[in-house]
Amino acid sequence: MTALVNFIVGYLASLIGLIPPGLLNMTAAKIGVKQGRKPAMVFSLGVLIVVCLQTGLGLAFARYIERHPEVVDVLQKVALGIFLALTFYFFVLAKDTRREIPKGVKRSKTNRFLYGLLLSALNLLPIPYWVYVSISLSALGWFFFDPLVIGWAILGSAMGTFSMLLLYIHFFRRKLPIGNFGFNLNYLLGTITALISIITVIRLWQRW
């Protein structure tokens, strides 16, 4: 029973966490529209591996981080630097997604997989997110840190993440013509990372 509870919590928490447009789901959608469903799924698989590691890391250190809030401050400062760099990249360095992809250009599945790994690794928010979720639900008796069932929460997290990424890929491929965006999606991604940066600054300022 505890394994099922952890799996459901892992699935729903990841699913809900990815509902708002964010860096990973919007990137998966962009790849799906510009390059097709298979490359987008390969990207998503790369994301899943890192999500599992981040979920496990967040759960493993949940109680420790709860007793040492300065660790959360360090994670937030690192995340702020990363998202500021990503904002600069999307607004200044990234290519316009409205450009047509030349026909005959082959995309490496390995590159898409590695891109998923890298982009997911740069997103440190799942770690404090899972610390908060697990500790809060554990206090209510709705989550269990038992080593024998903790893996079910990680599996649920992976499945929830993959489900929402697939929904984004499917939705955007149905709503937009293949290979065509009426707007530069990198500006949207840049806006998202900028908003996350602002929120992080506010939280750090409140802790000051």
State pLDDT tens for residues 74-89.
766 776 777 787 777 7
Q: What is the pLDDT of residues 140-196, one digit of tens each?
A: 788 888 888 999 999 999 999 999 999 988 888 776 554 454 555 667 667 777 877
How high is the pLDDT of residue 42?
Answer: 93
**CA 80 – CA 84 distance, rounded (Å):** 6
**CA 132 – CA 9 distance, rounded (Å):** 13
Q: Is residue 29 part of a domain?
A: yes
Domain that holds residue 162: 2-76+108-178
Q: Is residue 87 part of a domain?
A: no
In angstroms and rounded to an integer, the radius of gyration of the C-alpha atoms of the chain is: 18
**Most confidently modeled of 98-102, 134-138, 162-166, 195-199?**
162-166
Amino acid present at 206: Q
Q: Is residue 160 part of a domain?
A: yes
Q: Is residue 151 part of a domain?
A: yes
Q: Is residue 203 part of a domain?
A: no
Q: Which residue would you say has higher pLDDT here, 158 or 127? A: 158
Q: Is residue 101 part of a domain?
A: no
Q: Tokens 């899943």 appear where?
A: 48
Residue % of the chain over a pLDDT of 90: 25
Domain count, the chain: 1
Q: Is residue 100 part of a domain?
A: no
